[in-house]
Amino acid sequence: MNRIERVNDFVIRFANVNGSGSASANNLFARAIFRMGIPVSPKNIFPSNIQGLPTWYEVRVNEKGYLGRRGGTDMIVAVNSQTIVKDFIDVASGGYFFYDSTRALPDECKREDITVIGVPLTRLCNEAFENPKLRQLLKNIIYVGALSHLLDIDFSVLTSSIELQFKKKPKLAEPNIKALEIGLEYAREHYPDACGLSLELRDITGDGILMDGNTATGLGAVYGGATVAGWYPITPSTSVIEAFERYSNIYRIEEETGLKKVAIVQAEDELAAIGMVIGASWNGARAFTATSGPGISLMSEFLGLAYFSEVPVVLVDVQRTGPSTGMPTRTQQSDFIATAYASHGDTRNVLLIPCDPAECFEFTAQALDLADRLQTPIILMSDLDLGMNEHLSRPLKWDDNRRYDRGKIMTAEQLDTIEQKWGRYLDVDGDGICYRTIPGAHPTKGSYFTRGTSHDEYAAYTEDSSAYERGMIRLLVKWDTAKTLLPEPHIKIRDPQSKIGAIFYGTSTHASYEAIDRLEKHGTAINTMRLRAFPFSKDVIDFIDQHEIVCVIEQNRDAQIRTLLMTECNFQPDKLVSILHYDGMPITADFITDRLEKRLAEKFNATTVENVATGGIA
């Protein structure tokens, strides 16, 4: 048998039971690798968030820095009897199957092309610990201890991590460290040289951090000046608000009174939540909410009100698969059309598209500026993978000299100097953005009646068709202004002569770069563009125009970004080739590589992807 033998380059998957306490052990494992200076990408995979059902935790280790899912599994740690047969089948040929050998393997589990490693986790735990409540938790720590031998993990990193975790309660650290030692000694005695996967100390991660996107988003809202959050709990967006509250308790406390300088209000539903945000923003506060796919449809009518009455609003959409009756714990990039045109009538909403926690932080703060500047809804397009999983990211940075951009707000002094009649919806600068006032800024001036589309330039009620049309045309001017203010796409030209391009965004980014690196080694150079915002800038149009074929890589069934590119930029369908992934799991580099090879070979009548490069295309 040819064993897989790799250093700092493998995929390990933990098969657990939801609610069994495995999260702490798996997190300890991933963070130990990070602390050894090795790039690591851990991902929770929950087919369901119901307690007692199966769950998996996949860890990608790659010292070259590829952080997306690779595809395939080199080792599986199977501690869930419900899925043990499937897990056994899923191990790559030459890989390793680690299981709780307190019970014998099922008869179906017979393979000669993998290494089977049995550690009696349950028996060892029962023999060492009397407290039944601790046994389930510590059984997971025992397998981390065994892996420390099998994979050559620096044991001191594990013990110091536990000591740090229980710094305030050192007695709780003792049984955890004992469990680690039990696993280590058993594996050392029974499997002295069973595993060809190993870890070696590196100094690659530098000042990088491990953080989930929802935490970074909540912190970005604090730094961006948000003081009001109206929300309704929905997986997977709830932890955005929880993070905002947690960091507000640190950074938004009045020193003299001890009172929190924010308002966080749980509403009775999503519609009420966005209504609270609109009311707070109209009154001059910086306000936001967070939701997921089902919440978008419920909020859409109020989003339309904010769009047409031009009230700043920030919405965080942590995308997932399906509606509330679907799979709320799986990920997809499936809300782009719904958010881009949310509401009824002719609306176009600004979308920001981060790809890592650092951008979640930066884009959330920027969204609050853009909402004030453009006086319109700004929607941050995260997803479950980015929001709830930890990602290796550059550190979060903030310029203490930065000042919030409140946009065109008339002060009392400015209102006093106006000689002509002030018009709330009157464009005096030609950028489509009008001046607004904050209630109470002036004792007698600056008040206006806010409503949706049935108003003229002076906020007076009207059913006049020409006034409506003028307002709609001005909103298109604002739309063009928005294109100049948004994050620019990231473009990489690998070969100026190549006629093949690829577009991707958000959590498709890392796996896409890895796949395209693989194809370049085979002689096919593909230039890339990572989208970071909608509406699309001129750079997006130019990039597509410069290539004969552009592959659009997306994690949804209906090619939503491709549709937006055709709708907004008038590209023909045959110019844009779809690479679509929509099984609810984070996309893999293997999947993208395979689909790119097939689609390009089909497109250019080549037998293999290598022939594409010699066919006058690349």
Please write the tens of the pLDDT for every residue from 157-170.
999 999 998 988 88
Residue 59 to residue 36: CA distance in whole angstroms: 15
Which two structure tokens, joined as six digits, stand for 234? 């929905």
pTM for the model: 0.95
Residue 362 to residue 385: CA distance in whole angstroms: 18
Residue 536 to residue 532: CA distance in whole angstroms: 9
Q: Are 287 and 314 in contact (CB under 8 A)?
A: yes
Which two structure tokens, joined as six digits, stand for 534? 């909608």
Residue 245 to residue 388: CA distance in whole angstroms: 17
Residue 447 to residue 453: CA distance in whole angstroms: 18
Q: Do domains 6-198 and 211-393 have the same CATH topology?
A: no
| Cβ neighbours of residue 65 closer than 8 Å, sequence gap 6 or more | 39, 204
Which two structure tokens, joined as six digits, stand for 606? 């080549």
Q: How far apart are the first and last CA of the chain?
A: 40
pLDDT tens across 218-232, in order? Answer: 999 999 999 999 999
E-assigned strand segments in 284-435: 287-291, 313-319, 350-352, 377-383, 390-393
Superfamily for the 6-198 domain: Pyruvate-ferredoxin oxidoreductase, PFOR, domain III (3.40.920.10)
Looking at residue 615, its pLDDT comes to 43
Which two structure tokens, joined as six digits, stand for 83? 């899925």
Q: Are 243 and 271 in contact (CB under 8 A)?
A: no
E-assigned strand segments in 18-71: 40-45, 54-62
Fold of 490-613: Rossmann fold (3.40.50)
Query: Domain residue spans in the chain?
Result: 6-198, 211-393, 408-484, 490-613
Residue 561 to residue 335: CA distance in whole angstroms: 10
Looking at residue 616, its pLDDT comes to 40
Tokens 């933990």 locate to 14
- H/E stretch holding 576 reads strand 576-580
Looking at residue 488, its pLDDT comes to 98
Q: At what angle do helices 538-545 and 560-569 cross, to 10 degrees?
A: 100
| CATH no. of 211-393 | 3.40.50.970
Q: What is the DSSP letter of 489?
A: P
Tokens 């992807």 locate to 609
Tell me which residue of 462, 483, 470, 386 sits closest to 434, measured CA to CA.
470
* pLDDT less than 50: residues of the chain: 613-618
Q: Are 541 and 363 in contact (CB under 8 A)?
A: no
DSSP string, 175-212: HHHHHHHHHHHHHHHH-TT---EE------STT-EEEE
Looking at residue 67, its pLDDT comes to 92
SS3 334: coil
Looking at residue 48, its pLDDT comes to 60
- What single letter denotes the amino acid at residue 555? Q
Task: Spell out the alpha helix ranges (H) of 375-506.
Answer: 384-388, 412-417, 465-483
Looking at residue 613, its pLDDT comes to 47
